[in-house]
């Protein structure tokens, strides 16, 4: 059992608030991702769990025990850093083995534990090499193996893929996903990459400016963002957000008219929809949707991304890969009420669900 509880955690440096009232229980074996832009407080939160930063107020519990006053080495957590932090003069084998030596684990068990960890991350053929002789992805796998060999209660991973190129990020992400399934150890993972969060997490905590914006499964956060910040941060491309007015169930903005929305709402509003949810028309104008000129075209391989302008903001819509047009040509797409997300124009908070058209 390795449940982690964060009870109203604050972190301040003078007047600056790094993390504000972080209150969450992370069940045993859950893979939790802390997601947000640089400076949002996600790494600070992880460092407080690890004991590398002291919480200004609140309690941190691991396995039911308050650990605020415990040294990092006494919290039974293993941390994987962005920078790998490998010993250059040691072989891969000795790098993986090092935590066992430091913790005075019976030397008779070292070889078995190291080989098991190396096998899990597919490094058995590289144990004799030094870190300088490895690729970035291999070095990160050494760091993972070094964490695995400790058999901790909790894994902490601080942006472990950010130094890798795009192809290596994909393969190493799959490695981490498989390890999580195999090891069944509570894992807290920090990233600014929403694709990593969506593909790895059981639950995601979206953070901004030290505050938790939303906690939920990847599906919940993608389908029901709590506010415009979450909507604009999750998704590739991010959710389209258009400012306009709503009256009698009809939303209007430049080049946009959408009908069938919540008739209880009136006044200024922000409407959002996903690029893949709009339907490109066959040349006729959309009765409920966007009618504008093409601003740009991007061929993605599996689709064509069409961008138009609404109120001087760029709005992206996915079309079939066979779709052909040119910049400046008329473009129309139907946006049904059922795919729309409605947000308060001032606060950005999510409003009621739209009524059926």
- Residue 326 pLDDT level (bands cut at 50, 70, 90): very high
Pairwise CA distance, residues 271 & 289, whole Å: 12
Q: How confident is the model at residue 353 (pLDDT cuts 50, 70, 90)?
A: low
Predicted confidence at residue 166, as pLDDT, reads 77
Residues 6+ apart with CB under 8 A from 16: none
Give the burial class of 168: count Cβ atoms within 10 A of its Cβ; 0-12 exposed, 13-18 middle, 19 or more buried: middle
Cα separations in angstroms, 102 against 76, 171, 189 = 13, 31, 25
Q: How far apart are CA 149 and CA 237, in angstroms?
A: 38
Fold annotation for 4-229: Rossmann fold (3.40.50)
pLDDT of residue 352: 61
DSSP string covering 33-53: EEE-STTSSHHHHHHHHHTSS
Q: Is it true that 4-229 and 240-344 share their CATH fold? A: no
Percentage of the chain exceeding pLDDT 70: 98
Q: What span, in angstroms and rounded, lies between the C-alpha atoms of 197 and 136?
A: 21
Q: Whole-number mean pLDDT of the chain?
A: 91
Q: Show the tokens assigned to 54.
A: 């002291």
Give the per-residue pLDDT at 357: 34
Token pair for 100 = 């066992």
What count of residues does the chain have? 357
Q: Which tens digit of pLDDT belongs to each residue from 52-109?
A: 999 999 999 999 999 999 998 889 898 888 777 788 999 999 999 998 988 888 889 9
What are the structure tokens assigned to 34, written together? 């802390």
Q: What is the pLDDT of residues 134-193, one digit of tens each?
A: 888 888 889 888 888 888 889 999 988 887 777 878 888 888 888 888 889 999 999 999
Assigned token pair, 142: 């050494």
> Which one, of 316, 314, 310, lies nearest residue 298 by Cα?
316
DSSP result, 170-186: HHHHHHHHHHHHHH--E
In 3D, which of 252, 264, 239, 249 has the Cα closest to residue 318? 239
* Band of pLDDT at residue 199, cut at 50, 70 and 90: very high
pLDDT at 174: 85
Domain ranges across the chain? 4-229, 240-344
Rounded distance between C-alpha atoms, residue 254 and residue 292, angstroms: 9
Sign of CA dihedral 165, 170, 172, 173: positive
User: For residues 179 and 82, what is the distance between their CA atoms, to the nearest angstrom?
Assistant: 18
CA–CA distance, 52 with 193 (Å, rounded to integer): 23
Are 323 and 287 in contact, with CB atoms under 8 Å apart?
no
Q: Are 143 and 92 in contact (CB under 8 A)?
A: no
Q: What confidence category does residue 354 fall into, taking pLDDT thresholds of 50, 70 and 90?
A: very low
Count of Cβ atoms closer than 10 Å to residue 287 Cβ: 12
Residue 356 has pLDDT above 80, yes or no: no
Cβ-contact 148, 156 below 8 angstroms: no
**Tens of pLDDT, residues 15-48:** 999 999 999 999 999 999 999 999 999 999 999 9
CATH superfamily of 240-344: Nucleic acid-binding proteins (2.40.50.140)
Q: What would the mean pLDDT of 202-210 be, rounded to a whole number? A: 96
Please give the Cα distance from 322 to 301 (Å, whole number): 10
Q: Is the per-residue pLDDT at 355 higher than 60?
A: no
Contacts of 98 (CB under 8 A, 6+ apart): 87, 90, 146
């Amino acid at each position: 059992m390795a449940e982690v509880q964060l009870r109203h955690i604050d972190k301040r440096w003078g007047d600056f608030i790094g993390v504000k009232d972080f209150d969450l229980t992370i069940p045993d074996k859950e893979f939790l991702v802390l997601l947000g832009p640089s400076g949002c407080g996600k790494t600070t939160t992880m460092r407080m769990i690890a004991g590398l930063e002291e919480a200004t107020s609140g309690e941190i519990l691991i396995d039911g025990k308050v650990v605020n006053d415990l040294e990092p080495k006494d919290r039974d957590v293993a941390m994987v850093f962005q920078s790998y932090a490998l010993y250059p003069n040691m072989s891969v084998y000795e790098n993986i083995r090092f935590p066992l030596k430091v913790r005075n684990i019976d030397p008779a068990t070292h070889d078995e534990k190291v080989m098991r960890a190396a096998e899990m991350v597919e490094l058995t053929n590289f144990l004799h090499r030094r870190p300088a002789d490895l690729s970035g992805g291999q070095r990160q796998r050494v760091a993972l193996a070094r964490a695995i060999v400790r058999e901790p209660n909790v894994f902490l991973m601080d942006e472990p893929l950010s130094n890798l190129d795009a192809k290596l990020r994909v393969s190493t992400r799959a490695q981490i996903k498989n390890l999580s399934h195999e090891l069944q150890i509570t894992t807290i993972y920090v990233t600014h990459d929403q694709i990593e969060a969506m593909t790895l997490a059981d639950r995601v905590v979206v953070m901004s400016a030290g505050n938790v914006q939303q906690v939920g499964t990847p599906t919940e956060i993608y389908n029901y963002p709590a506010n415009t910040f979450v909507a604009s941060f999750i998704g590739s491309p991010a959710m389209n957000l258009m400012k306009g007015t709503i009256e009698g169930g009809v939303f209007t903005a430049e080049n946009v008219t959408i009908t069938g929305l919540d008739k209880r709402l009136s006044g200024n509003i922000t409407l959002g929809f996903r690029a893949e949810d709009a339907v490109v028309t066959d040349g006729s104008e959309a009765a409920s949707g966007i009618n504008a000129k093409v601003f740009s075209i991007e061929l993605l391989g599996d689709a064509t991304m069409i961008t138009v302008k609404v109120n001087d903001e760029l709005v992206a819509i996915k079309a079939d890969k066979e779709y052909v047009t040119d910049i400046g040509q008329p473009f129309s797409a139907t946006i049904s009420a059922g795919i729309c997300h409605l947000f308060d124009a001032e606060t950005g908070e999510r409003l009621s669900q739209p009524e059926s058209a």
